[in-house]
């Protein structure tokens, strides 16, 4: 019997013209590995939809979906609560990632860069989808530790600047 690895289909929309799009094949591989490291389901095929947006679009999404004013780094929608309700072609996870936040944070922090922030936001969203929370101190510490673990695992296999070139 041949065992087929589960497949995560990554659908992405790049809504910012001033930077190059991520390299699709590298992004797909990085997402597959990040999802595995985050502990997301590996027993069925699922889809990830990612919108990469600027500050204005993120502020609109943040107000509409979260009820918060202003921009943020990533918004996560996860539908893993009931995987049997997922139909082929429907996303199990949707992420909205703010490119402008990654540019700002990557420039402001000595230990980061635009590309590292972009990967961090992907990881953060996938960890939320895996059940991690950062709304109170204890879970927030766990979330930060898990982010560091997943990023360290990804850094062994990927050049983040090759996935997200251009800043």
Domains present along the chain, CATH in parentheses: 8-159 (3.40.390.30)
**68 has binding-site annotation:** no
**124 has binding-site annotation:** yes
Q: Summarize the confidence of residues 55-67 as an average pLDDT.
A: 96
Which pTM was predicted? 0.92
Integer Cα distance of 112 and 150 in angstroms: 15
Q: Which residues touch 123 (CB under 8 Å, ≥6 apart)?
A: 34, 38, 147, 150, 151, 154
Q: Summarize the confidence of residues 74-95 as an average pLDDT.
A: 84
Integer Cα distance of 147 and 15 in angstroms: 26
Q: Summarize the confidence of residues 119-147 as an average pLDDT.
A: 95
pLDDT band at 36 (very low <50, low <70, confident <90, very high): very high
Closest CA to 98 of 62, 134, 129: 62
Q: Are 129 and 40 in contact (CB under 8 A)?
A: yes
């Amino acid at each position: 019997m041949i065992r087929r690895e589960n497949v995560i289909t990554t659908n992405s929309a790049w809504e910012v013209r001033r930077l190059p799009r991520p390299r699709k094949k590298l992004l797909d591989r990085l997402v597959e590995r990040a999802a595995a490291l985050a502990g997301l389901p590996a027993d069925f095929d699922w889809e990830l939809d990612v919108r990469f947006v600027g500050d204005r679009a993120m502020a609109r999404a943040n107000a509409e979906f979260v009820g918060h004013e202003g921009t943020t780094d990533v918004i996560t929608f996860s539908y893993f609560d009931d995987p049997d309700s997922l139909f082929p072609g429907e996303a199990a996870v949707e992420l909205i990632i703010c490119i402008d936040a990654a540019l700002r944070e990557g420039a402001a922090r000595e230990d980061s860069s635009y590309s590292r922030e972009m990967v961090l936001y992907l990881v953060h969203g996938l960890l939320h989808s895996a059940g991690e929370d950062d709304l109170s101190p204890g879970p927030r510490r766990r979330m930060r530790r898990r982010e560091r673990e997943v990023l360290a695992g990804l850094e062994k296999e990927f050049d983040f600047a090759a996935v997200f070139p251009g800043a």
